[in-house]
């Protein structure tokens, strides 16, 4: 059992930290205030391989391993959770299913543009009446001679407003339950795809969260992912993997808030000594650190299991559950140790607190993670 990063991963982490410190951290507040990630930053991240970390080089990717991807999301999220989730949703929810279930022709057609960041990927599953209850999806598809036609609506779609490449989950016949669901690769610039709104949110405000209308969207038959009826399986596997990346995002948020708290409590003086010298403060820092390290071990273990093609469903649920609740706990206490300054935007921990909460909700709420874990414990 080895708890050390490999030399390659150490080099990657160092280069990520340099980029994040120089290019992302200085504009993180601006991203939050403007509700937008600059395209110039997305271009930079794409050129460095952030958008195609574990996509093989033959499909235009960086050809790194899955763990390198998780480290990338973690490091970026320390400074800007919006940028972290841009990478995570693009990679886990769009590139991932194409890489896992796509034909060779589909991989060659769609992955290079995604890996280069020319197209931003997303996953169109959630609907007004179907969140965790995937089987309740209403978006319907019908088969024509040479295509499928999709009609319905989707909400809460991360990265949706870029109108890049989407994986759309739709049903052929709702009475068939999960057996009626299929997955399609859809060019979101196709006629009939309409952006209805971009949500104004409490946190991750630089990340687009989009509602779509799909009105008779024509999809070529060769864009069916795997086989008809495989949509539920694809959705579940995609979400299982996505939970690891959301956990990495949450871990990064927690680490970013913790690092700022350590620095602040050593610089800020009260009653003639640094705040960190007071036991009440140092105990808060200690609790933050313990929770962060616990979550990190769970995230890294789940990533290792996926990388090595071992079962990881329960482990990804545990990792996501732990890291998301750690992010909320740590950012809340980060505000507390900053005192009044923690409530001021300039000190950033209030933004991290707002960003943290969503990690307990998307990709399966904390309650759903507990249900998954509980079911897998009972044989």
Which ranges of the chain does DSSP label H, i.e. alpha helix?
7-19, 28-34, 39-47, 66-79, 81-90, 96-101, 104-115, 231-267, 279-307, 313-338, 349-357, 366-377
- Three-state SS for 103? coil
| pLDDT the model gives residue 132 | 87
CATH 3.30.930.10 fits 121-228, yes or no: no
Query: What pLDDT, on a 0 to 100 scale, did the predictor assign at position 64?
Result: 97
> Cα–Cα distance between 247 and 319 in angstroms, integer?
6
Class of domain 7-115: mainly alpha
How many other C-beta atoms lie within 10 A of the C-beta of residue 41?
A: 17
Catalytic (active-site) positions: 363
Partners of residue 274 on adjacent β-strands: 269
Instruction: Determine the pLDDT at residue 168.
Output: 98
Largest CA distance in the chain: 80
Which residues, 6 or more positions from 170, have their beta carbon under 8 angstroms from its beta carbon?
137, 139, 140, 141, 150, 152, 181, 182, 184, 231
Q: Which residues, given as ranges, of the chain have pLDDT below 70?
A: none
pLDDT tens for each residue of 260-311: 999 999 999 999 999 999 999 999 999 999 999 999 999 999 999 999 999 9
Say what the pLDDT of residue 201 is. Answer: 98
- The verdict on domain 233-377 having CATH code 1.20.140.10 is yes
| Distance in angstroms between the alpha carbons of the first and the last residue of the chain | 28
> Which pLDDT belongs to residue 7?
96
Alpha-carbon torsion (224, 228, 232, 237), positive or negative: negative
Assigned token pair, 61: 């990717």
Environment class of 50 (CB within 10 Å of its CB; exposed 0-12, middle 13-18, buried 19+): buried
Domains 121-228 and 233-377 share a fold: no
- The pLDDT of residue 140 is 98
pLDDT of residue 379: 73
pLDDT computed for residue 128 by the predictor: 94
Model confidence, pTM: 0.96
Domain boundaries, the chain: 7-115, 121-228, 233-377
């Amino acid at each position: 059992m080895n708890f050390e990063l490999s030399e390659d991963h150490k080099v990657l982490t160092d280069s990520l930290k340099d980029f994040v410190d120089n290019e992302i951290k200085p504009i993180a507040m601006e991203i939050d205030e403007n509700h937008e990630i600059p395209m110039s930053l997305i271009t930079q991240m794409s050129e460095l391989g952030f958008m195609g970390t574990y996509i093989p080089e033959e499909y235009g990717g960086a050809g790194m391993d899955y763990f390198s991807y998780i480290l990338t999301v973690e490091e970026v999220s320390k400074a800007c959770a919006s940028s972290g989730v841009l990478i995570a949703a693009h990679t886990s929810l769009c590139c991932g299913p194409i890489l896992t279930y796509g034909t060779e022709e589909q991989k060659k057609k769609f992955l290079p543009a995604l890996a280069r960041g020319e197209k931003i990927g997303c996953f169109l599953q959630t609907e007004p009446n179907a969140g965790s209850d995937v089987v309740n999806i209403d978006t319907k598809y019908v088969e024509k001679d040479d295509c499928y036609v999709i009609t319905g609506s989707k909400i809460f779609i991360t990265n949706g407003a870029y109108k890049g490449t989407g994986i759309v989950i739709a049903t052929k016949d709702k009475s068939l339950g999960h057996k009626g669901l299929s997955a399609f690769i859809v060019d979101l610039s196709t006629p009939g795809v309409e952006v209805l709104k971009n949500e104004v949110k409490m946190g991750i405000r630089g990340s687009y969260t989009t509602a779509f209308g799909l009105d008779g969207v024509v999809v070529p038959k060769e864009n069916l992912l795997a086989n008809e009826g495989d949509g539920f399986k694809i959705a579940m596997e995609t979400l299982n993997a996505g939970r690891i990346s959301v956990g990495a995002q949450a871990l990064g948020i927690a680490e970013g808030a913790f690092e700022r708290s350590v620095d602040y409590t050593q610089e800020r003086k009260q009653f003639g000594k640094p705040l960190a010298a007071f036991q009440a403060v140092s105990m808060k820092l200690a609790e933050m650190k313990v929770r962060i390290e616990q979550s990190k071990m769970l995230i890294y273990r789940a990533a290792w299991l996926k990388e090595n093609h071992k079962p990881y469903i329960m482990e990804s649920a545990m990792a996501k559950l732990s890291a998301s609740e750690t992010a909320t706990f740590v950012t809340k206490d980060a505000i507390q140790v900053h005192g009044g300054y923690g409530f001021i935007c300039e000190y950033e921990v209030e933004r991290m607190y707002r960003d943290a909460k969503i990690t307990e909700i998307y990709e399966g709420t904390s309650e759903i993670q507990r249900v998954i874990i509980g079911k897998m414990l009972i044989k």
